Amino acid sequence: MLRTRIAFIAVVVLVGSLLVPGQAMATTYPETRLPDNGNHDYCFTTGFANSRDPYTAHYAMRTLDSTTDMTSTYVGACNNNNTDIWWFALDLAGTVRGEWQCIITSSTRCNSADVRIDFDQIDIGDNDIADRDKTSVHEVGHSVGFGHHSPAAHDCALVSGELPSLDIKWRRYHAHDIAHINATF
Partner 1 sequence: MFKRYAQGILVGSVAVALLLTGCASDPQAEAPAGEQQTNRASATELADMTTRGLEVDYDRLASPEAAVAASKLIVRGKLVDVVEGISYGGAAEQAGRANPYATFVIETNASLKGSEAKGTKVYAQVNKSSLTSAADLAKIGKGLDVVAVLDDISGWTPAPGVTVVRPAAMPATGPLYLAFPDGLWAQGVTDKAMVGMHARTGELAGAWGTPQTVDQYWTTLEKAAG
Contacts to partner 1 by CB under 8 A: 2-3, 6-7, 9-11, 13-14, 16-18, 20, 23-24, 26-34, 45-47, 81, 86, 88-103, 105, 108-110, 113-114, 116, 121, 124, 135, 138-139, 142, 145, 147-148, 152, 160-162, 176, 179-180, 183-184
Order of strands, edge to edge, in the sheet holding 85-89? 71-77, 39-44, 85-89, 109-117
Question: From residue 39, how far is each of 43, 69, 155, 157 by CA, in Å?
Answer: 13, 9, 25, 20
CB of 73 to partner 1, least distance (A): 20
Tell me, rounded to whole angstroms, the distance of Cα 171 from its chain centroid.
8
Q: Which is nearer to partner 1, 35 or 61 (CB)?
A: 35
CB of 100 to partner 1, least distance (A): 5
Distance CA 55, CA 113 (A): 19
**Distance between CA atoms of residues 65 and 110, nearest Å:** 18
Q: How far apart are CA 98 and CA 88, in angstroms?
A: 10
Main-chain dihedrals φ then ψ at residue 88, nearest 5 degrees: -125, 145
CB of residue 59 vs partner 1: minimum separation in angstroms? 16
